[in-house]
Structure 1
Amino acid sequence: MKITSDPARVIELRDVVKTYAGRVPVHALQPVNLLVGKGESVAIVGPSGSGKSTLLNILGLLDTPTRGAYFLEGVDVTAADEVTRGAVRGQKFGFVFQSFHLLPHRTVAENVELAMMYARIPAVERRERTQNALETLGLIHRREADPRELSGGERQRTAIARAICLNPEVLFCDEPTGNLDSHNTGIVMDILADLHENGQTIVLVTHNLELAKLMRRTVSVRDGMVSERVNS
């Protein structure tokens, strides 16, 4: 694998193209050049079908580009196989989705610990990290609750706790407030803002332009083409 000269660039896409094969090929992403620096907050916006989910999937190593190069902390991982990509995702990335993906019949604390179990983090450390995350997100009093007993906002905070317990280099959030009312949307966005203030790199996909303005940069995707602006 090739090393570049600037590992401070956590993610770098170089001329990335994504085309879905078929009788009529779908050009989901035109050549994209994009940098995500350590500690940045980046919003990805665009209408339905614009390519923003495709871009997120490539950034999160959930999908591979048809052409172009992907560098992670200066290392070219474009040609990495799925086993390697999965290991990198587990070590470097956290994911928060619109659907909370919490397991019923397991407590809040058990749901938070689950990803750490797969990462083979020792039990004592898992419990400590879970305790700290639930305290940070105001959920310590719900640690023994069944996720089905939680409000939508509490479920999303549980999902965020699960993601940050792995100390991810980048936290990817795909429409994390899409199922929430305005009150809980505000709570979740305040949490993301606090995480960013403490150095967390955040990439947020949202259709809400007001939420996008809370991020430092906005990447707009339309018809597979990307443009950027720095938010004031």
Structure 2
Amino acid sequence: MGLIPSPTTGPGTGTTDTTGPANTGPGTSSTRSTILREGINEVIGTTHLNAAPMGVIYRNGKFALALFKGSHTAENIVRDGWFVANIIHDPVIYVETAFGDLADDSFVPEVIDGMEMHRLAAAEAWVAFRAAVVSESSEAYSITLTPVREEVRICSMYPVNRGFNAIIEAAVHGTRYLMNHDPDLKWLIDHHLAIARKCGGEREKVAARMVEYVIGKKENGV
């Protein structure tokens, strides 16, 4: 298997053991990734047969997660000590994983660093991490991440699309709205869905209808 291509080598696919010297991404040899970038990376995180939209934080050469307690995702990461960040550009899958569960055949097992980890079959790229709790409060865990392998499966360029980004925002606000029914969150959801319908393609419009359906069930007490 080849290395992940640099911008000067043209498109392609391949895997990289991130602890090896050939990796040229940001950070040290033990913390770098050629896929994720500085800031908060919006990904679909996978654990054992479980997926949810998550933000992987990369700052000062370190990867981290901030996880609220009580979710299956948080429980799995704390128990198993691993996490996979899946890069994907299908807004429907973001909505599906924000509000529900994927079928088991949506996941692909990968034996990495002596452990079986699960990534999404539809992932365009993924980064596998070892995960460890560094601190916790009554409500949340602070998780440090160490990348151990990454793969680019589809090397494509995506122009910025406000409709896609708006679906991510609507899904984030939607998960919180289901818990507290805050009218300010409902306003934000409607605002972002309007952008998705105006600026997005067909998949964004499908995703917008899915969000509306879930929120409508909440409002109707279903």
Q: TM-score range by the shorter chain?
A: under 0.3
Structure 1 length-normalised TM: 0.26
Structure 2-normalised TM-score? 0.27
